[in-house]
Amino acid sequence: MKPPRFEYDDPTTTEEALDLLAQHGEDAKVLAGGQSLVPLLNFRMARPDRLVDINGIEELSYIRHDNGTLRLGAMTRQAAVESSDTARQLCPLLVDALHWVGHAQIRNRGTVGGSVAHADPAAELPVVFSALGASFHVRSKTGPRTLSPEDFFQTHRTTSLEPSELLTEIEVPVLPAATRTAFVEFARRQGDFALGGAATVVSVDESGACRDVRIALLGAAPTPIRASDAEDAIRGRRLDEDAAREARVLTEAAITPTGDIHGSGDYRRGLIATMVYRSLLQAASNRGEAA
Ligand SMILES: Cc1cc2nc3c(=O)[nH]c(=O)nc-3n(C[C@H](O)[C@H](O)[C@H](O)COP(=O)(O)OP(=O)(O)OC[C@H]3O[C@@H](n4cnc5c(N)ncnc54)[C@H](O)[C@@H]3O)c2cc1C
């Protein structure tokens, strides 16, 4: 299938893109890497009158270490983050998760901001940014906004972005030393969307007890959600086999994923709980993040 007819703009600055979105936002779609939007156009599941192609906006593509945060421009290609020494050093969890996103060809074009704005419940980056407590910077002609993942992701492929708004940057706090992280998922084949997964961030004190614990779940709900019962059970304890087992049981009791042709809700519930168990044990064996 071919996409329906559309008008096409290719701004080269953020301001120019914001002008276009202010004028045409209701009828337009932003085109980033096109890895999700172009198939939707071809299947005619999206029928915008206009595309605002932001690939020519160089100022939206960067990876910066700035005052205790890692800043990613929305147009930064997923492959650029995956191969970035800065990202690997400051945020290995992000790089680990990126290996699971589609195939290399998709990551060469797909952008970090596109993955966040697309808000697929089976996507890795929204889950990782939730676990990391990232902030999403958004701009329009009426001004900037900064949103937490909880405020940004509304439901399946729906965010709180207004039609006139552009996601411009993802800001990730650099984790303190001795923070352990792990990302695990299960997909039927390498490159497929995951059936379930978990991103875990755990800080451990001198006595070996867990302090800050964040476990974000992939595929458990229409948006990334946290396994809060499991987090509460682990806080203050050593991260060992018993703790991981209890977290698995609590997660399984807490979630109600929806089933589809790839797996029933019950299957996914057990799978995601197992991903939590594995991610905790993997985090326990990790050296910890560089500060
Ligand atoms: C075969 C295949 C397998 C894939 N497997 C995976 C996978 O396993 N995991 C995974 O996470 N993804 C997967 N993807 C999707 C891929 O990661 C996409 O790159 C990503 O979802 C969207 O990024 P994009 O830059 O291509 O955005 P686009 O496709 O250009 O845009 C996606 C949506 O986001 C909006 N948008 C994009 N950028 C902005 C912005 N800056 N501000 C406001 N709105 C914006 C667009 O308007 C559109 O609605 C796969 C894709 C394919 C084709």
Of 121, 139, 173, the residue that ends a domain is: 173
Task: Report how far residue 90's alpha carbon sits from residue 179's, in angstroms, rounded to the nearest whole number.
Answer: 11
Find the helix or strand (DSSP H, E) in which 104 lies. helix 104-109
Q: Domain limits at 38?
A: 7-53
Cα–Cα distances (Å) from 269 to 22, 81, 276, in that order, read: 42, 31, 11
Note the pLDDT tens digit of each residue in 137-152: 999 999 999 999 999 9
Note the pLDDT tens digit of each residue in 181-215: 999 999 999 889 999 999 999 999 989 899 999 99
Judgement on whether residues 186 and 271 belong to the same structural domain of the protein: yes
Judgement on whether residues 114 and 81 belong to the same structural domain of the protein: yes
Task: Report how far residue 3's alpha carbon sits from residue 44's, in angstroms, rounded to the nearest whole number.
Answer: 6
Ligand 1 close to Cβ of residue 118 (< 6 A): yes
Note the pLDDT tens digit of each residue in 30-47: 999 999 999 999 999 999
Measured over the CA atoms of residue 68, residue 96, residue 77 and residue 118, the dihedral's sign is: negative
Judgement on whether residues 167 and 69 belong to the same structural domain of the protein: yes
User: For ligand 1, atom 47, which residue shows the shortest CA distance?
Assistant: 30
User: For ligand 1, atom 23, which residue shows the shortest CA distance?
Assistant: 114
Number of neighbours of residue 138 by Cβ within 10 angstroms:
22
| Paired tokens of 20 | 């276009």
For residue 17, the domain's CATH number is 3.30.43.10
Of 173, 197, 227, the residue that ends a domain is: 173
Ligand 1 close to Cβ of residue 73 (< 6 A): no
Ligand 1 close to Cβ of residue 117 (< 6 A): yes
Say if residues 217 and 255 touch (Cβ distance below 8 Å). Answer: yes
Judgement on whether residues 189 and 222 belong to the same structural domain of the protein: yes
- Expressed in angstroms and rounded, the spacing between residue 241 Cα and the centre of ligand 1 is 37
Report if residue 1 sits inside a domain: no
Cα–Cα distances (Å) from 115 to 76, 167, 176, 215, 264, in that order, read: 11, 11, 26, 20, 25
Report if residue 291 sits inside a domain: no
Task: Report how far residue 157's alpha carbon sits from residue 119's, in angstroms, rounded to the nearest whole number.
Answer: 4
Judgement on whether residues 149 and 194 belong to the same structural domain of the protein: no
Judgement on whether residues 99 and 148 belong to the same structural domain of the protein: yes
